[in-house]
């Protein structure tokens, strides 16, 4: 079967699963997403692109942005400094849990892909103020996704800032433990804006391709080192799907990062980047039908890195 025909068959087979999930509603405006939307984009290293479904729908990147912020934080500060502030281990807790900040011996976030760790990463982006720091992050996001159209959805940004009380609590807790060295509201402003950047499945598939190519753009320009790309992909395997990461690694077996906007960005090293959009979520905050699409795709064409 041709790949485009396979994608159509897999998406339509799994679309009924969207009825079983829920669209994120705890952030204002996210609940306006069409629940039955589902689409997939594959961008191969040979330049070919395959897609089907709701691939051009714009949605907020949410936690997939944590990958971009981690890369820029490592470029700005170096690997050693970054991992003096966050760990490299799965948390085993929901992505917005504050519990381990108090109970862990290290007194730092378990990894940079949970909310606490991502807030710490946002605080490490260089710049004279939060506006300049986010502008650098936005330009970096546009570069590594090769999508100059990325911008902030300001309704969602305002909703995140006004209702993200747990994230505010995490920020001040991190400040108290010395993880955040600068201004807490400034770090949180960067974080809320990064989560509110609008993308499509094409955008995140291109980000996956960038990582599949070990940090090289389609132009041939190297942006990050192969080592930094490997760090990111490894953390995606162990921590990228929240506290569902272990099960996802068994079922699908490719580095991936999800967001509550409905996106999943996946990487098949040296082969392809994949972007999936399906805003109907399971109870862990991952796209319910999106995971099923990736599992069926893996079984059809053997993508697992294991």
How far apart CA 47 and CA 30 sit, in angstroms, is 33
173 annotated active-site? no
Task: Out of 199, 242, 277, 287, pick the active-site residue.
Answer: 242
Task: Out of 50, 191, 232, 266, pick the active-site residue.
Answer: 191
242 annotated active-site? yes
305 annotated active-site? no
In the three-class reduction of DSSP (H, G, I as helix; E, B as strand; rest coil), residue 286 is classed as: coil
Long-range CB contacts for residues 234-237, cutoff 8 Å, separation at least 24: 235/70, 235/88, 235/111, 235/112, 235/113, 236/67, 236/113, 236/267, 237/305
What does the block give as tokens for 109? 């976030």
Task: Out of 11, 50, 52, 66, pick the active-site residue.
Answer: 66
Task: Out of 260, 268, 276, 293, pick the active-site residue.
Answer: 260
Task: Out of 43, 63, 216, 252, pick the active-site residue.
Answer: 63
How far apart CA 166 and CA 188 sit, in angstroms, is 11
How far apart CA 27 and CA 157 sit, in angstroms, is 9
260 annotated active-site? yes
What does the block give as tokens for 241? 């799907």
218 annotated active-site? no
Task: Kindly list the catalytic residues.
Answer: 63, 66, 191, 242, 260
């Amino acid at each position: 079967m041709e790949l485009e025909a396979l994608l159509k068959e897999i998406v339509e087979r799994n679309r009924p699963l969207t009825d079983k999930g829920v669209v994120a509603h705890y952030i204002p405006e996210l609940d306006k997403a069409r629940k039955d939307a589902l689409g997939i984009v594959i961008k191969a290293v040979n330049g070919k692109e395959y897609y089907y479904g709701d691939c051009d729908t714009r949605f907020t990147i949410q936690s997939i942005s944590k990958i971009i912020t981690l890369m820029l934080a490592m470029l700005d500060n170096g690997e050693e400094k970054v991992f003096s502030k966050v760990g490299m281990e799965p948390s085993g807790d929901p992505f917005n849990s504050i519990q381990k900040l108090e109970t862990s011996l290290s007194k730092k976030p378990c990894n940079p892909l949970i909310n606490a760790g991502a807030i710490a990463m946002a605080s490490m982006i260089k710049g004279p103020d939060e506006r300049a720091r986010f502008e650098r992050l936005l330009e970096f996001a546009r570069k590594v996704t090769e999508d100059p159209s990325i911008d902030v959805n300001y309704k969602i940004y305002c909703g995140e800032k006004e209702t993200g009380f747990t994230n505010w609590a995490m920020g001040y807790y991190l400040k108290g433990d010395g993880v955040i060295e600068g201004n807490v509201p400034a770090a949180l402003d960067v974080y809320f804006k990064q989560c509110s950047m609008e993308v499509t499945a094409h955008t995140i598939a291109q980000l996956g391709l960038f990582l599949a190519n070990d940090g090289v753009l389609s132009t041939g320009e190297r942006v990050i080192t192969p080592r930094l790309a490997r760090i990111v992909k490894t953390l995606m395997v162990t921590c990228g799907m929240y506290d569902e990461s272990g099960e996802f690694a068994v079922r699908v077996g490719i580095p991936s990062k999800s967001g509550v906007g409905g996106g999943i960005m996946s990487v098949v090293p040296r082969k392809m980047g994949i972007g999936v959009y399906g805003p109907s979520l399971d109870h862990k905050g991952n796209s319910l039908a999106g995971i099923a699409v990736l599992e069926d795709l893996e079984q059809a064409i053997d993508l697992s890195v294991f």
